[in-house]
Amino acid sequence: MSDITTAIVTGGVRGIGKAAAIALAKADRKVIVTYRSSREKAEEFQKEMNDAGYELSAVRCDMKDFTQCEALTGYAMEKYGRIDILVNNAGVTEDRLIRNMTVEDFDTVIDINLKGTFYMTKLVSKQMMKQRKGRIINLSSIAGITGIAGQANYAASKAGIIGFTKSAAKEFAYRNITVNAIAPGFIETDMNDRLPLQIRESALEEIPLRRFGAPEEVADLIVFLASEKAAYITGQVIHVDGGMVM
């Protein structure tokens, strides 16, 4: 195992975040996952992983609260003394057409998706810079590249993550910290399961591979970007979308 040993995965109790946490744990990483409201699921996930012999802990953290993000990074440092990998995955949607979208709808999505990514990167990068090594992986979306009607707030947050990723990659490269973004398309998660059947069927027609992706297919890329094998990759936005956006 390399010296890249500890990881924080935000929103790591379901969907892509959970798949990433499992994959990182199986790659011999010590993993801390965060959750905001799914305490029962988080405790169940932690127990399952611990019983299977993996070192994983679940910590409640609201990504829009900088103080809670500080407490999370403090916990990680107290527990492990270093932070090697940060996966900024936590995200929410509040979908409405712009004319019906409230200021609160917009602010909630920006605060958690974009500002939460900034908070965690700001806090964790300080330790990574001391270590002179680190991997930061931000979850964007094809929505941030193409835009999606009814998701102006979500698309704005995910487009912001792309710009943030490129800026951070340039700032941190001299300390051997890589920063990359992943832009998933339609992945089989709780979020996409809630989509109306008509939208799901329409989306499938636009995907050359004619299927939705599995969370594990995104998780495999996260593990790669977090490894030594990806040491010369930074500032990139990699699509995992079945060819939907080319």
Annotation: binding site for NADP(+)? 11-14, 89, 154-158, 187
- The answer to whether 21 and 56 are in contact (CB under 8 A) is yes
Name residue 73's amino acid: T
Buried b (16+ CB within 10 A) or exposed e, 168-185: bbeebeeeebbbbbbbbb
- The answer to whether 12 and 87 are in contact (CB under 8 A) is yes
Q: Sort 237 into a burial class: Cβ within 10 Å, 0-12 / 13-18 / 19+.
A: middle
Neighbours of 234 (CB within 10 A): 21
Task: Compute the Cα dihedral for 198, 239, 69, 52 and give only its sign.
Answer: positive
- Residues in binding site: 11-14, 89, 154-158, 187
Q: How far apart are CA 84 and CA 226, in angstroms?
A: 9
From the candidates 35, 54, 154, 174, give the one annotated as an active-site residue.
Answer: 154
Alpha helices in 13-148 (DSSP H): 15-26, 39-51, 66-80, 103-109, 116-131, 143-146
Greatest Cα-to-Cα distance within the chain, rounded to the nearest angstrom: 52
Q: How far apart are CA 164 and CA 174, in angstroms?
A: 17
The answer to whether 54 is a known catalytic residue is no
Residues with a catalytic annotation lie at 154
